[in-house]
């Protein structure tokens, strides 16, 4: 059973408040491109919202791909998180992830992915339609 966020994307309205609160709480400014969850609005066809985020899969190919062991188990949460002080931004994890779950930050300095905000994900609290759950 994956430990990551769960999304009912048909309920999504595309407000990207999850991306605002995620970037705000992780990097101290409102900047959707630094959000750990990404919602794409795909219009006119097929008129849907696509979610990209780390689902905390059991196989975690990102961990195996990382050449510097920067993606480490958070024992409290039981999920893998990026230690940005170790990450060299080589992009191997981005390549390895089959779910579009991680990507480099806009300056290309390190890999970013969902860390469940240490246990109380901000996006879950902020979403006005209760789209995101654990």
Partner 1 sequence: MADGYTGNVLRVDLTNEKISTEPIKREWTKLHIGGKGLGARYLFDELKPGVDPLSPENVLMIWTGPLVGTMVPLTSRYVVVTKSPLTGTFLDSYAGGYFGPELKYAGFDGVIIKGKAKKPVYLWIEDGKAEIRDAKDIWGKDNYKTEELIRKETGEKYARVATTGPAGEKLSLIAGVTSDLTRNAGRGGGGAVFGSKNLKAVAVRGTLGVEVPDIDKFIPMAKEMLLKDVVENPDHAGSITDGTPIIVDMSQNAAILPTRDWTSGEFEDSAGLNSDALKTRVLVRRKACMDCGIACGSWSKVSKGKFKGAATEGPEYETIGICGSNCGIKNIEAVVRFAEDCDRLGLDTMSAGAAVAFAMHLYEKGILTKKDTGGLDLKFGDEDAYAKMPAMIANRKHIGDILADGTKRAAKRIGKGSEKLTLESKGSEYPAYDPRGSIGMAIAYATSDRGADHNRAWPVASDAYGSGDPWSTEGKAATCVEDQTRTSVKWSFIFCDFYAVNFGNMAKYYTAVTGVKADEQYLRSIGRRNWNLVRAFNVREGFSRKDDNLPERMEKEPLPSGKTKGKVVPRADFEKMLSEYYKLWGWDDNGRPTKKSLEEAGLGDIVKKLPYLK
Give the whole-angstrom CA distance, residue 117 versus residue 132: 14
36 close to 114: Cβ distance less than 8 angstroms:
yes
Asked if 27 touches partner 1 (CB under 8 A), the answer is yes
Q: Are strands 48-52 and 38-42 parallel, antiparallel or unpaired?
A: antiparallel
22 close to 6: Cβ distance less than 8 angstroms:
no
Asked if 65 touches partner 1 (CB under 8 A), the answer is no
Asked if 108 touches partner 1 (CB under 8 A), the answer is no
Tell me whether residue 96 or residue 126 sits nearer to partner 1 (CB atom): 126
Query: Binding residues for partner 1, how many (CB under 8 A)?
Result: 30
Asked if 111 touches partner 1 (CB under 8 A), the answer is no
Nearest CA to 36 out of 3, 75, 81 is that of 81
Residues forming the site for partner 1 (CB under 8 A):
10, 13-17, 20-21, 23-25, 27-34, 40-41, 43-44, 47, 106, 122, 125-126, 128-129
């Amino acid at each position: 059973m994956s430990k990551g966020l769960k999304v009912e994307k048909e309920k999504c309205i595309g407000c990207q408040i999850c991306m605002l609160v995620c970037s705000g709480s992780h990097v101290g400014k409102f900047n959707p491109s630094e959000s750990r969850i990404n919602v794409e609005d795909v219009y006119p066809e097929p008129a849907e919202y696509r979610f990209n985020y780390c689902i905390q899969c059991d196989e975690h190919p990102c961990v195996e791909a990382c050449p510097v062991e920067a993606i480490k188990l958070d024992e409290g949460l039981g999920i893998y998180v990026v230690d940005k002080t170790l990450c060299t931004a080589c992009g191997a994890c981005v390549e390895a992830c089959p779910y579009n779950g991680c990507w480099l930050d806009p300056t290309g300095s390190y890999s970013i992915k969902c860390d469940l905000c240490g246990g109380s994900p901000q996006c879950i609290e902020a979403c006005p339609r209760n789209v995101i759950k654990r």
